[in-house]
Structure 1
Amino acid sequence: MNNSGFKFDNTYANLPEIMATKLSPVAVKKPELVILNHDLAKSLGLDFSKHSDQENAEIFSGNKLIDGSLPLAQAYCGHQFGHFVMLGDGRAILLGEHIDPKNQRWDIQLKGSGKTPYSRGGDGRAALGPMLREYIISEAIHFLNIPTTRSLAVVTTGEDVLRETKLKGAVLTRIASSHLRVGTFQYVAAKQDISALKTLVDYAIERHYPELLQAQNKAIALFKSVMKRQIELIVNWMRVSFIHGVMNTDNMSISGESIDYGPCAFMDHYDTKTVFSSIDHYGRYAYGSQPIIGQWNLARFAESLFPLLDEDEKKSEGIANDLIKEYEELFADKFHVMMKNKLGMISDEDQDKQMMSDLFKLMHKNQADYTNTFRYLINGKFPQEKLLNDPDFIIWEAEWKKRLSKNQKSEDGYQLMMKHNPLFIPRNHKVEEALSAADDGDISKFLSLCEVIKKPYTEDVNLEEFTKPAPASDRVYKTYCGT
């Protein structure tokens, strides 16, 4: 059929056979288009305007395959809440890799597209709510200037999926620079196929880190580059109060993109122990635990590369330990720079770290809203917050203003703050309102939220309702994996 501008070049399909199973999506009963991301489509060099909504629904449900696609389900492993599991795409099909007008390569994946050999007893389907959640949160993360997979379309399937209750079935079309994960490397390592592991390292470098093609030891070079990108990613999540919620190794992308938006949410009131996931009973993936888990996941990545770090196993272990030790200092440095940007601190002053620490303590003590605290420091607007009446905060704020005067130009500090402190995040209660209405057939709140998140750093007096944290009655908030 007319491929709407898709130009497929399916390199993943040429990797060793153990890494994927070639199969098509399972057809659905009655696909209907819910949302199509025309701006994203345009940036990819795609045009669906010549198709009817019904034709587009057939494409994005997987009922009609696009010319040049070569569908497959990828194999990978994962440490899920610390436990090692053989996994794979249990409800997703990679249609292929699209080359955009800038010659960039993008995976086109259908999520919720039916059973695969990796479904492990699951039905391979997805529900409308979780797919719309991934759409809105991934788009929000993109507009917050954080690397992420993106969402091209959501369709309903005309079929119910059975979870705790009956839910509307749906398929999400996800765009990613690749779906290579730490778990992909763990899978090949677990198969003890060193030849395939070398091929995978070469493939990851060629696809994401071409500057490493001439590296003396490609595995070491790849690890270092992935570690840097993961540190930048997690620091950015923390900058905007994002909690991924399920940082298993199969959800850590080699490209450094945020991937798999299951029980994810944004923290309102500052508390490093904040957890929204219904299954994270011990806070493994809490807001403040994300840096530690990032390091833990990277240690598992290093283990999967052991055979390529050195021929001697003991030397490999030593190399891996040395590499992973670099994480803490690298992370601390990046986090410090991020916080300086949030607080408008341009020069380096001895008092900076202490000032940051003191602010966090005051925010925690007063249950201050994370996003609005930093915006208050820019614009002085912060309605009904206990923090503002705390004498210690009043002293802190006066000291902070003195600190800003040490910048060459105080307005430069404010400009810096405006770039790094969003005004709008997808507030959890607003997301739930939009998803609940969409489930009842009203997409208007969802579309409104999609518009708000496109300009997260721009003040707009007409959108003040989107800046307020959840009312006290909504603060006990739980999210679910959606599987």
Structure 2
Amino acid sequence: MSPTYGFQFDNSYARLPEALFSLSAPQPVAKPDMVLFNHALADELGLDADALAQQPDWFSGNTEIPGSTPLAQAYAGHQFGNLTMLGDGRAILLGEHLTEDGRRRDIQLKGGGRTPFSRGGDGRAALGPMLREYVISEAMHGLGIPTSRSLAVVANGEPVYRDQPLPGAILTRVAASHLRVGTFQYAAAQQDPALMDTLIDYTLHRHYPDQQGNDNPALALLDAVIAEQIALVTHWMRVGFIHGVLNTDNVTLSGETIDYGPCAFMDRYDQDTVFSSIDRQGRYAFGNQPAITQWNLTRFAETLLSRMDDDVDRAIEMATERLKGWSSTYDASWLAMMRNKLGLTGEQAEDESLITDLLSLMQLHKADYTNTFRLLIGGQQPQGQAYNNDAFASWHARWLARLEHEGNVDDSWARMRQNNPAIIPRNHQVEKALQAAEEDGDLSVVNRLLAALSDPYADRDAEDPYVQPPKEDEVVCATFCGT
């Protein structure tokens, strides 16, 4: 009998109606070689980390993992507003691993080869984008933001052809599930009420078991997903994260961040910041993310209308009420988050203007988003071109006066340290690490970056390179999805 190295599969998604997936085994590769292995995550999953780190075949498709049921999931997606039937074109879900405490985690190979949904693509992935997803997803985990995780990156010993030949690789992604808004869009397109009911019940059972037995399961699911997405987007705005391709197929029903293609973190504060090379109109700019998420959830609500009520007008009224409440609920979540960033625990009427005035000054003077909030900790006025002006000095005095009402400034500084990271995966540092790995085979730069990002809230020296914003010749202006 083959060893399992701790994997315990129970593949509930494979027991759903076949309309939602296609069985699809990963395609073997020429020469798998372990590039990165996440020992900490393997330990959390109850896996034999030391043994699996020596088993690149298990994460390349060359060896079938005992108990796995490889499949490609079917889903649709509004891509930049246009609905398309999609599905896993280069990702293969091996199955669901059960941890010792009963948590269910998807184990997926990204870049595992062609599937029935590949639409003419090669089903493969390049090393650079897979390393990028590993770095950014682990950084998000360190920041305390719900996210898929990365267990391994394996070089496949074969080139993939994009604009030029690139070294190929496979990422092993771990997620609470890969259920998306696009999953429901695909199911709704089948016009099968029984299929929709099954999918609703499955999603509630998997992610919101406390809502099972609700008199209106579809409405209960919409409420739960809205709440999770508000919490998630608030986290993104807290740390300056820009997803880049916030299509409906990239909105998880679990409330996790997923699919780290042209994502990036903002250096200088600007609501209109865009990095994705394909987002030419700024649809998914930093400041647009809350509204776009509301738009995506409106598409989700549309798929549920027929299951909310037999009377379509009543169903629309129910969904509309929830979606209208998005703005006020998100605004309250955002305001609470920003109070935390500024060390405020109480609520005063002038807090919102205090916050927005600071952001306006930051945008006007091109202040670094991450560093500004860290520099404020302790109450000293920050030094530098962005802060040496009368407007900022006036704002700083208002803020200190507001803090006097908090009673204990030490509590304020502690709150700020908990909510404002000292470091983020800055784009220029990520690009340096990927370049060293791709061009020179040097993983030491990636590993140093990962080590720093594992503890992002710890105080760091002002001269630490991971704290420093990019110099003018280091600024990254565009990122790419890697497909």
The sequence identity of aligned pairs, in percent, is 52
CA deviation vs aligned residue, 1:424-461 (integer Å, no higher than 9, x gap): 10010000000000002000000000000000000132
State how far apart, in whole Å, the 2-side matches of 1:2 and 1:462 are. Answer: 49
CA deviation vs aligned residue, 1:224-275 (integer Å, no higher than 9, x gap): 1100100100010010000000000000000000000000000000000000
Moved over 6 A (4+): 380-384
Which one-letter code corresponds to 1:478 in the other structure?
A
- Secondary structure at the counterpart of residue 220 of structure 1: helix
2:456 corresponds in structure 1 to 456
Which one-letter code corresponds to 1:202 in the other structure?
D
Which one-letter code corresponds to 1:418 in the other structure?
R
- Secondary structure at the counterpart of residue 461 of structure 1: coil
CA deviation vs aligned residue, 1:322-356 (integer Å, no higher than 9, x gap): 12111001100000000000000111111101100
Whether the aligned pair in 1 keeps the contact of 2:422 and 2:460 (CA below 8 Å) is no
State how far apart, in whole Å, the 1-side matches of 2:359 and 2:32 are. Answer: 48
1:386 corresponds in structure 2 to 385
1:315 corresponds in structure 2 to 314
State how far apart, in whole Å, the 2-side matches of 1:102 and 1:230 are. Answer: 25
2:31 corresponds in structure 1 to 30
1:119 corresponds in structure 2 to 118
Which one-letter code corresponds to 1:45 in the other structure?
G
> How far is 1:408 from its partner?
2.2
1:91 corresponds in structure 2 to 90
Which one-letter code corresponds to 1:420 in the other structure?
N
- Secondary structure at the counterpart of residue 480 of structure 2: coil
Which one-letter code corresponds to 1:467 in the other structure?
V
Whether the aligned pair in 1 keeps the contact of 2:155 and 2:167 (CA below 8 Å) is yes
1:360 corresponds in structure 2 to 359
1:423 corresponds in structure 2 to 422
> How far is 1:379 from its partner?
4.5
Which one-letter code corresponds to 1:450 in the other structure?
L
Across the two proteins, how many residue pairs are aligned to each other? Answer: 481
1:471 corresponds in structure 2 to 471
- Secondary structure at the counterpart of residue 389 of structure 1: coil
CA deviation vs aligned residue, 1:358-395 (integer Å, no higher than 9, x gap): 00110001000000000010057898632220110011
TM-score by length of 2: 0.98
| 2:89 maps to 1:105 | no
CA deviation vs aligned residue, 1:180-215 (integer Å, no higher than 9, x gap): 000000000011111010000000000000000121
Which one-letter code corresponds to 1:12 in the other structure?
Y
Whether the aligned pair in 2 keeps the contact of 1:182 and 1:250 (CA below 8 Å) is yes
Which one-letter code corresponds to 1:10 in the other structure?
N
State how far apart, in whole Å, the 2-side matches of 1:304 and 1:379 are. Answer: 49
- Secondary structure at the counterpart of residue 108 of structure 1: strand
| 2:369 maps to 1:351 | no
Whether the aligned pair in 1 keeps the contact of 2:34 and 2:53 (CA below 8 Å) is no
State how far apart, in whole Å, the 1-side matches of 2:381 and 2:106 are. Answer: 42
2:295 corresponds in structure 1 to 296
> How far is 1:316 from its partner?
1.7
- Secondary structure at the counterpart of residue 259 of structure 2: coil
Whether the aligned pair in 2 keeps the contact of 1:114 and 1:123 (CA below 8 Å) is yes
> How far is 1:317 from its partner?
1.8
Which one-letter code corresponds to 1:481 in the other structure?
C
1:254-273 map, 5 Å: 254-273=253-272
Change (3 A) 1:355 1:381: closer
CA-based RMSD of the aligned residues comes to: 1.3
1:21 corresponds in structure 2 to 22
> How far is 1:284 from its partner?
0.3
1:33-432 map, 5 Å: 33-50=34-51, 53=54, 56-379=55-378, 385-432=384-431
> How far is 1:2 from its partner?
1.4
Whether the aligned pair in 1 keeps the contact of 2:241 and 2:265 (CA below 8 Å) is yes
Whether the aligned pair in 1 keeps the contact of 2:375 and 2:382 (CA below 8 Å) is no
- Secondary structure at the counterpart of residue 153 of structure 2: strand
CA deviation vs aligned residue, 1:55-84 (integer Å, no higher than 9, x gap): x11001111011111110000000000000
Structure 1 alignment gaps of length 5 or more: none
Of stretches 469-478 and 425-434 in structure 1, the one that deviates more from structure 2 is: 469-478
Which one-letter code corresponds to 1:398 in the other structure?
A
Whether the aligned pair in 2 keeps the contact of 1:106 and 1:175 (CA below 8 Å) is yes
State how far apart, in whole Å, the 1-side matches of 2:446 and 2:396 are. Answer: 37
TM-score by length of 1: 0.98
State how far apart, in whole Å, the 2-side matches of 1:381 and 1:403 are. Answer: 15
